[in-house]
Structure formats: structure tokens, C-alpha cells
């Protein structure tokens, strides 16, 4: 049904289109520019004289004989050992998503089905935990981790990221399970299932939409994390984001700057693809409950 509410005047449509295009340029252009620039040499991408150099690849042509080059990618992935960072990121992301969904679904299911008052206090506590700046937690980890000799390795970081992620996962899945009718598992209980069986055979088949959303946020947290990974991992085990920062950390010299540019593109591309694919779930997650990842 075409409602009158959705009919707009011509001026409004024109103004609107201009504004949206303007806004899209602001939010998308920096990424396109970086993507384009990653195939140029430094003299082009950081050119004081004329920004057109970055478009035409003037110095790139002089240095490599072609107007675009993969040199930054090849060097950073092999010489800069970005492949190792990619591997670490994959290990961490997959583990964090799996473990935090496993813990989160169990916990959130219990929270949504229990009628006792303590669930409320647990949720409030989770909200407080969710608000803690990660760096304050990291400052608490370092000393004990050094003493226990578990600093620098991947498993420690994985479990830390899982824990940091739990409050948000719990809240998200809690509000999701609240929308799953109680009668569903109650009837299973009456038929003689235990709580765990009811969860396994009745709830699990219908929980996937919520789980995908929660998984997406866990993935973004693990994939994007800088605070925890940069301080809890040693150089060898660095994931992508701290690795990129490490390329820049040293004094601005030659190729390394372009390495960072190439690696920024390498690290963002998969994330954008995932988000493009799961956009609907992402937006539904952002709007449920009272928290954000």
C-alpha cells in the first residue's frame, strides 16, 4: 500500500540525493583512495607536489615501469611476514567466535529462562563489565601473566578476548532468547526432556539467527582488536592490527609506510566482504538490547 506519508516533494528528493551522495563520499572515499594508493609507490601516495600523481602513478611508472605495482603487497606479506599475522588473526578469530558463542548461548539461555532475581543482577554486572575500558583490564593482566609465564602466546589472548566479549554476547543472546517462545522448551520439559536436552533438541535448531548476529560481533571484536593483542602478544604472535602499527612504529622510512598501506587494505577487504554478506544481521544486532559491541 502506497501511503501518503511516503510521498515527498521534488525539492526534498533533490536535496536528499545530494546529501546522501555527499555523505557516501565522506564515508567511502577514504577507503577507495587507500585501496587505489596501495598499488602506487610512496612518492605518489604521499605526494606533496601534486595529488594527481597518486591517480596517474607518475613515480610508480618511473620506479617500476608500470603505473601500478604489487610491490608493497609482495614485500609486506613475505618480507614483512604479514602472512604470519594473517594466520594468527585467523586462529584467534575462529577460536574466539566459537568459544564465545558456545559459552554465550548456554549462559544467555539460562538467563532468559530463569525467573529468579539474581539473573537481573548478573545482567547488570555484565553491563558494568561491558563498560570497562579494555586497557584498564590489560593493565591488570600483564603482571599476573608475566608471573604465570603465559604472556605472549595465542591461547591466553583467545581466552581474554572471549571473556571481554562475554557481556555483550550475553546481552545480545539474552534479548534474542526472550523472543523465542517459552512454550517451545516447556513442552519438551513436560515430555520428559532434561533442561540440557531441551536446549539441544528444541532451542538449538531455532537459535541460528541470533547466533549469527552474536557471532558477527564476536568476529569483529576479535578481528579488530588492538588494545589486547598489542600488549598481550609477543612480536612473533602479533595479529594484523598490531602488526600494521609495528610497521609504522619505526621511523618513517622508505617502503615500510607503503607496507602499512598495503596491509591496511589486506586486513579490511575480508572484513568488508563479511559485512556485505551479513549486513542485515549486523544491523539487527546493533538495534536489539541496550548495548553495543
Partner 1 sequence: MPHKTFFWFFFPSGLAMLLFIGLPIISSFFQSLHIENEQILMEVENCDVFGCKTEVRVDLEATKIIDEENPLGRFNGLRTYADRNHLAFNEINDAWKVSSSYNQFFDIIFNLPFYKALLFTLTFCFAVTPPVIVLGFIVALSINTISQTIKGPTIFGTILPMIVTPLIGSLVLFWMIDAKGILGATIQNIFDDPNLSLKSSSELTWITLIIYGIWHNTPFAFVVFYAALQTVPLDPLEAAIIDGASRYQRVRYIVIPHLYPVATFIMLICLMDNFRVFEPIIGFKAEGAAQSLSWLIYSDLRNESIMLFGSAGATSMLTIIGVGFLLTPVLIRTWKEFKTER
- Within residues 56-85, the interface with partner 1 by CB under 8 A covers none
| Whole-number Å distance between alpha carbons of 144 and 157 | 14
For partner 1, the binding residues in 196-235 under the rule CB under 8 A are 196, 199, 220, 223-227, 231
Residues 132-151 that bind partner 1 (CB under 8 A): 132-144, 146-147
Question: Rounded to the nearest 5 degrees, what angle is found at the Cα of 290, between the Cα atoms of 199 and 107?
Answer: 25
Interaction of residue 127 with partner 1, rule CB under 8 A = yes
**Residue corresponding to grid cell 590489560:** 138
- Distance between the two ends of the chain, CA-based, in angstroms? 37
Contact call for residue 27 and partner 1 (CB under 8 A) = yes
Rule CB under 8 A: which of 88-117 touch partner 1? Answer: 102-104, 106-107, 109-111, 113-116
Helices vs. strands in the chain: H and E counts, helices first: 16, 0
Pick one of 6, 149, 234, 250: the residue that binds partner 1 (CB under 8 A).
Answer: 6
Min dist CB 31 to partner 1, Å, is 6
Q: Is 127 exposed, middle or buried (0-12, 13-18, 19+ CB in 10 A)?
A: middle
- Pick between residue 65 and residue 276 the one whose CB is nearest to partner 1: 276
Q: Tell me which stretch binds partner 1 (CB under 8 A): 44-52, 69-77, 79-87, 200-208.
A: 44-52
Closer residue to partner 1 (CB): 65 or 183: 183
Q: How far is the CB of 110 from partner 1 (least distance, A)?
A: 3
Q: How many CA atoms lie within 13 A of 221 on its CB side?
A: 28
Selected binder of partner 1 within 153, 180, 246, 286 (CB under 8 A): 286
**C-alpha of 255 from chain center:** 28
Of 65 and 133, which has the nearer Cβ to partner 1? 133
Cβ atoms of residues 268 and 31 within 8 Å: yes
Looking at residues 242 to 261 of the shown chain, list those that interact with partner 1 (rule: CB under 8 A). 244-245, 248, 260-261
Specify the residue, 65 or 291, whose C-beta has the smaller distance to partner 1.
291
φ, ψ of residue 233 to 5 degrees: the values are -110, 150
Candidates 59, 63, 175, 195: give the one binding partner 1 (CB under 8 A).
195
Listed in sequence order, the residues at least 6 apart from 243 whose beta carbon sits closer than 8 Å to its beta carbon are 80, 82, 85, 263
Contact predicate 288/171, CB 8 Å:
no
Span of 31-39, 61-69, 90-98, 202-210 interacting with partner 1 by CB under 8 A: 31-39
Cell numbers of 249, please?
Answer: 612504529
Check if the beta carbon of residue 171 is closer than 8 Å to that of residue 130.
yes
C-alpha cell at 41: 609507490
Q: By CB under 8 A, what part of segment 153-182 binds partner 1?
A: 159-160, 162-164, 166-167, 170
Q: Which residue stretch of 64-72, 75-83, 87-95, 128-136 sits at the interface with partner 1 (rule: CB under 8 A)?
A: 128-136
Binding part of the chain for partner 1, among 30-38, 56-64, 67-75, 77-85 by CB under 8 A, reads: 30-38
CA distance 173 to 103: 11
Is residue 273 involved in binding partner 1 (CB under 8 A)? no
C-beta of residue 127 within 8 angstroms of C-beta of residue 172: no
Question: Residue 70 or 125: which CB sits closer to partner 1?
Answer: 125
Amino acid at each position: 500500500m502506497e501511503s501518503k506519508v511516503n510521498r515527498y516533494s521534488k525539492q526534498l528528493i533533490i536535496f536528499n540525493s545530494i546529501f546522501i551522495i555527499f555523505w557516501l563520499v565522506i564515508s567511502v572515499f577514504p577507503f577507495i583512495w587507500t585501496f587505489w594508493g596501495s598499488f602506487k609507490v610512496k612518492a605518489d601516495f604521499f605526494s606533496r607536489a601534486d595529488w594527481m600523481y597518486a591517480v596517474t602513478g607518475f613515480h610508480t611508472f618511473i620506479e617500476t615501469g608500470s603505473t601500478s605495482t604489487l610491490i608493497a603487497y609482495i614485500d609486506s606479506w613475505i618480507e614483512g611476514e604479514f602472512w604470519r599475522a594473517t594466520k594468527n588473526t585467523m586462529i584467534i578469530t575462529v577460536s574466539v567466535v566459537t568459544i564465545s558463542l558456545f559459552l554465550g548461548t548456554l549462559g544467555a539461555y539460562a538467563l532468559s529462562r530463569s525467573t529468579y532475581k539474581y539473573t537481573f543482577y548478573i545482567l547488570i554486572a555484565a553491563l558494568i563489565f561491558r563498560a570497562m575500558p579494555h586497557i584498564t583490564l590489560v593493565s591488570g593482566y600483564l603482571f599476573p601473566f608475566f608471573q604465570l609465564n603465559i604472556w605472549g602466546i595465542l591461547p591466553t589472548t583467545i581466552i581474554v578476548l572471549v571473556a571481554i566479549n562475554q557481556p555483550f554476547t550475553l546481552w545480545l543472546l539474552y534479548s534474542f532468547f526472550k523472543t523465542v517462545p517459552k512454550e517451545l522448551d516447556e513442552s519438551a520439559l513436560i515430555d520428559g526432556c532434561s533442561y540440557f536436552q531441551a536446549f539441544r533438541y528444541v532451542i538449538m535448531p531455532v537459535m541460528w539467527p541470533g547466533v549469527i548476529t552474536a557471532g558477527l560481533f564476536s568476529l569483529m571484536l576479535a578481528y579488530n582488536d588492538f588494545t589486547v593483542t598489542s600488549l598481550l602478544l609477543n612480536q612473533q604472535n602479533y595479529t594484523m592490527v598490531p602488526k600494521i602499527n609495528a610497521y609504522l612504529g619505526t621511523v618513517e622510512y622508505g617502503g615500510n609506510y607503503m607496507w602499512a598501506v598495503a596491509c591496511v587494505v589486506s586486513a579490511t577487504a575480508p572484513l568488508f566482504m563479511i559485512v556485505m554478506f551479513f549486513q542485515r544481521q549486523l544491523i539487527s544486532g546493533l538495534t536489539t538490547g541496550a548495548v553495543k559491541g
